A and B are shown apart, each in its own frame.
Chain A
Amino acid sequence: MADVALRDVVKRFDEVEAVRNISLNIPDSEFVVLVGPSGCGKSTTLRMIAGLEEVTEGEILIGGNVVNDVPPKDRDIAMVFQNYALYPHMTVFENMSFGLRLRRTPKAEIRARVEQAAKILDITELLDRRPKQLSGGQRQRVAMGRAIVRNPKVFLFDEPLSNLDAKLRVQMRTEIKRVHQKVKTTTVYVTHDQVEAMTLADRVVVMNGGRIEQIGRPHDLYHRPKTHFVAGFIGSPAMNFLPARLQPNGEALMLRLSPELAFPVPPAHAARYRPSVGKDLIFGLRPEHITEPRGEERDPRYEFSMTVDVIEPMGMETMVFFTVHGKEVCARVEPTAAKPPGQPIRLYANLNHMHLIDPATESVL
């Protein structure tokens, strides 16, 4: 096991800069998830750590050693690919033991290690099968098994669950987490699915346009995003954004969202937002903080009425979509409180969880 560090890493493909000067420290046995939209540079970063792409500038360190010029096989890493990349002509046992056989590990040890990994992943009965005889989930387990047997310093996962159906993806997610809790190997995991990132990671690295937007624990990213992008990317359904303006109201502040809709800023936030009075801002609030008025939270100043555009029943809750000044807003209400489209609905905005974004800097105030 080892720590991984990236120092001012840049990757250029001809004229295109895919990764722009990123630095990251991953301590030993941490599970870090790189998340971001397509083309944000997350996979390229992972491939540079693996040694499958050369680093244009900067340094990558594994276990304290600079590995920029070390070939993949000598980096002591294992990688799980999106399409599994199992060798089709080999059995599961041969697939898992391939790396060990190349390193001329004694046969008895190979068998012991493969059997142990197979036991962890519950694939002991599949050892004699070939990849084409396995289901998607089983193939993914074998791919993980191939990584585990090597007992590497670092595990690298490149969107390993993208090819699985929704149900299996959730199941395998738990499996990956369980395996990491057992083997405690430093892990770098790439995904575009923010739910996967939130559920798996010790720390999440949100990337956008080749840069790191924010690094933090899932809880911090969700509740204290630093940028407009992170606020919008993390969370499903996504955070609602509306143009807003702060107005002084005696000692307090008023948040004006439209000529008809304004809320007093909770006193806890007022001091922080006071310097931004009069500026054009973006107001952000997650759907779960716009609900039907509930017993203990009732404060008529934060209640408002809207006409329902669309409803999406999810079972335990219902998403209600309405429009504020031409912008679509989503609220999360109890199924019994939802109203059919076209009808008015009474809602409550919990501004204790509000965010204000400066559109000039894209940073959260």
Chain B
Amino acid sequence: MYDIILPIRFFLRRRITILAVLAVALCVFTVVVVMTVMNGLVSDFTDKNHAFFSDGIVWTDSLVGFGLYEEFISRLEKTDFVACAAPVINTFGLVESESSGKNAALDLMGMDIARQIKTTDFADTLYYRKDTPILAFNPIYDVNLAGCIIGVDLLVERLKSGQYRQLSFLPMWSYLITCFPLTPKGALAKTGTALTANSGTFYYSDNSNSGLAKIDSTVVYLPFDSLQSLCGMDIGAKRTNAIFVKFKKGFDINVCTDKVSRLWQDFIKENGDFALANLFGTVRVADWKTYRRETIAPMEKEQTMMILLFALVGLITVFIIFVIFYMIISRKSRDIGILKSLGVSKTGIVRVFLRLALLIGICGAAVGIAAALVFLLNINRLEGWLFDKFGFQIWNREIYAIGEIPHQTRPVLLAIVAACAVAACLLGALLPTLGSAGRKCVDILRVNQL
């Protein structure tokens, strides 16, 4: 019974235990806040990539592309696991604003908007045509003009608050877009001895905010057929250089990607006599995550680094608890001597102090988690206030493509952090307790008597 009453009394009546609780709470608070924000940023980034690039991609890095894509898409759509697929052209070109005269070499993405909005969440990235995405390439001011969608960061000013200064009306801006068409053999198309450059005028029909900074600041979207023609992918046979594939709900992406890969292998075998069959060799099939590995991997590495860093924070917690318990037990050594003189065993004494550590761990974790939840709940409000008052921002929204700071805490994370905090307390308390409990009580009492 003493091993229940004493830990409670030590906990309630010793100020040093408040220090221990605060130390644990502080560590738990830091770990929960940073892990939540970091996990949130990574999952937000990966979710946006997934939404933009669909589930699986059949693609080639070659600007020449590959043919028979419509045949392969129809084969894919006949399977039981593919919901839909869309051809996409990724290339580059010169974009000149006809109103300002400014020009730049930018990435161009050609998409069949009807199929694209079924296959990806592209519709959600639009501003003016969010409700009628099918008309995204038809400018509101004249639906008969050829439209282009511009990456939001290329065109729209981003305020320090992270909001975009969107115009309430769609301005009639035109862009001259020039591409250098390639023959199926990969050579620049020529007319006589002069190189051919295809140009077309497109009117600003919308802007796209995918939340992926690199894409929003470098990509101009054009109708699939128009871009195909501009970059010569209709010479010889119609070509594309990517197919985005959306799998049906409930199907595993990795399994489906393997199936698509096998289908592709069968497809190129069957079409070995196709005139441009040599272009099939560069085509690869991957899930969205593998396709975007170069972009996602650094963030995931950063996340792993964070986890390692916070494992170090955990070790520091153990050390802090160890020091605090060393102090508590140094002060309590006389009590240990008294308990031993009353016949309390070594395990009984260890039990008293481990229960004290358990109380400190539980209370510290509870206080830390509660404080972290309150902080996270108000993190955006707090950042807003700091910004309004002092102009300080944790992430400069002009640089980082994030809206709100992520603050959704996962219960699993809370449970793991709380369990680690309690385990750290028990571990930190165990060594000094074992050391003191193992001493002869007469030695302890003699020292305290002097």
A pairs with B: no
> A residues near B, CB below 8 A?
none
> B residues near A, CB below 8 A?
none
